[in-house]
């Protein structure tokens, strides 16, 4: 059974710092991996999608990498800003399943 | 831009009521999902649908049913609402697997309180 883990559960950094959020999964047979952002009381906003054949994806200050063989993905945020404060979730789409399996998220606070 | 719209942001219902949560997507996606999100438990899949009139149980289907009569609309039904169904409900949609990938898009969420 696929399990997705995100470490750390919470992170507080000063503005301007570069940071890395981690996501690990137990079954490497994934179709893709997706990173989301969630603001308090709101829905999920898609940030980046990495197909299983890709190693990384970039969007603005965000860069996500994928290492299927080791079951790991990282989300790199460059030059963090207070507006980046949110919960970040990763989710994997199994090779033989319609389901997105979510990690429990990392709650990020960027201090001015 | 893909848009997934949930009919209500906030709902308050009484125990025993039949509750309908509606979700509409405008990108002709085949797949639609209903999740609930609770503190400490994360997102849990209730039901999903990969085609019109097709549905599959997720991890926690008990106490819920769904309806998908049209491709763009996926309804979640609480047959007899109970207080333990107080939660944030999230709808999502995605394309079937193919060259376009399966990026999932979520609605804004419905905060349901059952009293």
Instruction: Determine contact: A28 vs chain B, CB below 8 A.
Output: no
pLDDT of the residue at B2: 67
pLDDT of the residue at A64: 97
Question: How far apart, in whole angstroms, are the C-alpha atoms of residue B10 and residue A68?
Answer: 39
B4 neighbourhood in chain A, CB within 8 Å:
43
Instruction: Determine contact: A99 vs chain B, CB below 8 A.
Output: yes
pLDDT of the residue at A80: 97
- What integer is the mean pLDDT of B9-18? 97
3-state secondary structure chain A: CCCEEEECCEEEEECCCCEEEEEEECCCCEEEEEEEEECCCCCEEEEEEEECCCCEEEECCEEEEEECCCCEEEEEECCCCHHHCEEEEEEEEECCCCCEEECCCEEEEEEC
Instruction: Determine contact: A44 vs chain B, CB below 8 A.
Output: yes
Per-chain mean pLDDT for chain B: 93
Q: What is the pLDDT of residues B25-45, one digit of tens each?
A: 998 999 999 999 999 899 999
pLDDT of the residue at A31: 86
Residues of chain A with pLDDT under 50: none
pLDDT of the residue at A52: 86
Question: How far apart, in whole angstroms, are the C-alpha atoms of residue A84 and residue A13?
Answer: 11
């Amino acid at each position: 059974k696929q399990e997705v883990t995100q470490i750390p559960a919470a992170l507080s950094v000063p503005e301007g710092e570069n940071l890395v959020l981690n996501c690990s999964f137990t079954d490497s047979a994934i179709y893709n991996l997706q990173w989301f952002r969630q603001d308090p009381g709101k829905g999920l906003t898609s940030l980046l999608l990495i197909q299983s054949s890709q190693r990384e994806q970039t969007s603005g200050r965000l860069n996500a990498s994928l290492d299927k063989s080791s079951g790991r993905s990282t989300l790199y945020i460059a030059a963090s800003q207070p507006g980046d404060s949110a919960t970040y979730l990763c989710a994997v789409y199994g090779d033989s399943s319609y389901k997105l399996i979510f990690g429990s998220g990392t709650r990020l606070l960027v201090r001015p | 831009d893909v848009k997934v719209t949930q009919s209500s942001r906030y709902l308050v219902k009484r125990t025993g009521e039949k509750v309908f949560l509606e979700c509409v997507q405008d990108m002709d996606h085949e797949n639609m999902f209903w999740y609930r999100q609770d503190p400490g438990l994360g997102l849990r899949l209730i039901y999903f649908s990969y085609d019109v009139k097709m549905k599959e149980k997720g991890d926690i289907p008990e106490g819920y049913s769904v309806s998908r009569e049209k491709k763009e609309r996926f309804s979640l039904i609480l047959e007899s609402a109970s207080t333990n169904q107080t939660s944030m409900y999230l709808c999502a949609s995605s394309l079937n697997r193919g060259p376009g990938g399966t990026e999932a898009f979520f609605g804004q969420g419905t905060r349901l309180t059952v009293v």
